[in-house]
Structure 1
C-alpha cells in the first residue's frame, strides 16, 4: 500500500490540474493553468508555447502569475521549434541557458520537455522547463504529455470560441451595413418617385420614366453587390448603361484611367448616366446615325484631388425647345451632385449636342481607397 501512495498523489494532482485547464477561460488563462498544474505535478518552473506562425513565443511563470510574450528569435523558441520537428515528446538539457523576460529580468531554463500539440490548436508545441538542477521523474514524465494534450484541446476550444465571437461580430456588422444600405436605397427611390412626379408630363410619362430610373438604380446595386469591397469601375457603369439602352458601339467612345467609385457616388453617377443617356436617345446624339458621344475623365491633383469627367455629344442639331426643358436629369446634375458629393457641374446644350462636365472631389465619399488610387 505504501508504494502506491506516490502514484495516487500524482493522479490526484494531475486530475486537479486537468480540471483547472478545462475550466479556464481565455488563451492566457489556459496557459497559466497548464503551467500551474505542471508546477504542482512535477515542480516545473514554467511553460513556453510556440504559435503556428512562430513570430514569437509565450511564456507563463506560475510564481509570477503572468503570461509574457518573448520575441521571435529567442534561444528558447528555437529549441522548442527544433524539438517539435521530431514529432514526439523530447527532453533537452541546456545548463545555464537564460531567458530574458520583457521586464528585463532573467531566469534559467536548464531542462526542457517539449510536447508537439498539433497546429489546429494554434500552437506548434508546449514546453515545460526546470531550473536549479531539477528534472522530472519517470512517473511525472509519463503524465506531463497528457497535461500538454489537454491544454491543446482547451486551446483549440478557445480558438473556436474566439472565431465564433468574431464571426458573430462580423455578422452583426454586416446586418447593420445591409440595414444602412437599405435605408439609403429607399431614400433614393423616394427621391426618384417624388422628382419623377414633379417633372412628368402625364401618368404614362411618369410610369415609364420611373421604371427606367429604378432599373438603372437596380443595375448599380447589382454592381455594388459584386464589388462591395472594391467598388464598381466607372467605365463599367458607363458601358452597362449604354448597353442596357442598346446604344451602338460605333456611336460612342470611352476613355479614362481605372477608377472605382464609393457606394453613394456610384449610385448618384449611375442615375446621372441614365438621364444623360435617355436625353441623348430622345433629343441628342443617339437620334441620328451620325450622332456621336465621347465620355472621358482624368485625375487632377491640383489644387485639390479631383476627378474631371466629361460627356460630350456631337454631330446633332438640338431643337431650341430642348434647351428650355428642365427635367429630372438636370436636377441631378445641377443640384443633387453638388449637394451630395460636393461636385462642381456644368450642363449646356448647343447646336452640336449636349455637354456635361462634372468635377468630383476625391475623398472617402466618392472613391475607394483614396490614398492608393491617387497617382
Structure 2
C-alpha cells in the first residue's frame, strides 16, 4: 500500500461503516441520525435536514447531541432544500450566516448545503447535509455523500415498509378476532333457531319449512354484512330484502325512515325479527288479502338517550283470532331476545285490525355501525 492510497482507503472504510449503521438502524429517527453521524465522520458535516414529500415540514438531525427535530415548513432552510431537490441533481449552495432555530430554542448555523434529491418513495423530497463555521467540504468528500443519501433513502423506504407490515399484522389480528367473534355469535343464533323451531313446530314438515326459511333469512343478512362489512347494512335494505324474498308486492307496503346502518349482531337479530313478522303477515295478517297494507317506519330521537323508534303497523285486515294459541318463535324474538341482547323496549300487539310491533332500540356500539354518525 502506498502513502497516496491511505486516505482513500480510510475514507472507504469509514463509508462502509457508515452505510452499515444506516442500513441496520431501526426507526425513521434512528436512520436519519445514523446518516447525519456518518456524514460528520466522512465530511465533517454539522447535520442533516430532510424535507418530507408533501413539503409540509422538514426533519433536522444533528449528530453532536444525537437529536432529531421536526421543523414547520416555510423556513429558509426548508425553501432552499425544496428548490434544490426540484432540480433533480445534487447541488451545493452557500448561505453565509443562515441560522436555523430548533423547537428547543437552540439556534444553529447552516451556511453550506449539499442537497441530494431522493424521490418521494422514501417519504422525502431531498436530503441536505449542512456545514457551519465557514467549513467547505472538499470535492472528494462531496462525492461520497450522495451515495450515503441514497442509502438513507432505501433505509427510510424499508422502515416505511416495515411499519406498513406491522399495521397489516395488527389489522389482520383484529379482523381474525372479529371473524371468530361473529362466528361464535352466528353459531349461537343458529342453535337458538334450531331449538326454538323444534319447540314451536307441530310436525316434522313444519319444522323443516320454518328452519329453512329462518336460516335463509339469516344467510341474506350475512350476505349484506359481507358487502357492508365496514359500514354495516342499511336498515331499509334489510326490510326490503325480506319483503322481496317473500314476493310481497310494492303496493302493499310503505317504508319510511332516515338512513341508519346497523352493527352486525343487531342486524342479524333484526333480520330474524323481520322474517317472523313477514311470515306472520303472509299467513294471518296484512298480506293474506289484496287490500291489506303494511307501514314500516322509524325515527331517531333523543329521549333520555339516543334511540331508534321502529314501527311495524298492519292495516285493512280482520284477524279472526287475536290471541295465539301458543307462544311462537317470533314473539320470543321480539319480547325476550331483543330486550336481552340489544336492550330494546318492545311492544307486540295482535289485534283484530292487524299486528302492531314497536321497538325502541338504544343507539350504541351494539346496535349502530357508527354511533357518532347516528
TM value normalised by structure 2: 0.96
The corresponding residue for 2:170 is 169
Distance 1:256 1:153 in 2: 54
Q: Quick check: 1:112–1:127 contact (8 Å CA) kept in 2?
A: yes
Asked if 1 retains the 8 angstrom alpha-carbon contact of 2:322 and 2:351, the reply is no
- For the 8 Å contact 1:283–1:322, the answer to whether it is kept is no
2:322–2:350 contact (8 Å) kept in structure 1: no
Query: How far did residue 321 of structure 1 move?
Result: 6.2
Secondary structure at the aligned position of 2:93 is classed as strand
> 1:364 — aligned with what?
365
| Match in the other structure for 1:145 | 146
Map of 1:218 onto structure 2: 219
| 2:322–2:352 Cα contact (<8 Å) kept | no
Contact 1:117 1:124 in 2 (8 A): yes
Equivalence map 1:1-375=2 (5 Å)? 1-320=2-321, 323-373=324-374
CA–CA distance in 2 between the matches of 1:148 and 1:227? 45
Q: 1:296-322: per-residue Cα shift (whole Å, max 9, x none)?
A: 111211332111111011111112165
SS at match of 1:355: strand
CA distance in 2, matches of 1:172, 1:298: 36
Could you tell me how far 1:234 is from its partner in structure 2? 0.6
Report the TM-score, using the length of structure 1 for normalisation: 0.96
Aligned-residue offset at 1:88? 0.7
SS class of match (1:290):
coil
Aligned length: 373
> What is the CA–CA distance in structure 2 between the aligned matches of 1:39 and 1:104, rounded to whole Å?
23
Give distance in 1, aligned partners of 2:73 and 2:326: 71
1:285 and 1:149 map into 2 onto residues whose CA distance is: 74
Deviation digits for residues 349-372 of structure 1 (CA, Å, limit 9, x no counterpart): 111111101111111211122222
Distance 1:193 1:100 in 2: 72
Bigger drift between 175-184 and 272-281 goes to 175-184
Structure 2: 5+ residue stretches without partners? none
- Distance in 1 (CA, whole Å) between partners of 2:180 and 2:100 is 53
2: CA distance, partners of 1:164 / 1:360: 40
Q: Aligned partners of 1:324 and 1:204: how far apart in 2?
A: 20
Compared CA separation, residues 365 and 298, structure 1 to 2 (3 A): same
DSSP-derived class of the 2:373 partner: helix
Between the aligned partners of 1:253 and 1:320, the Cα distance in structure 2 is 25
| CA distance, structure 2, for counterparts of residue 347 and residue 335 of structure 1 | 11
Cα-to-partner distance string for 1:265-286 (whole Å, 9 max, x where unaligned): 1111111000000000111111
Q: Which segments of 5 or more consecutive residues in structure 1 lack a partner in the other structure? A: none
Looking at structure 2, the residues matched to 248 and 233 of structure 1 have their Cα atoms a distance apart, in angstroms, of 21
* Partner SS for 1:12: helix
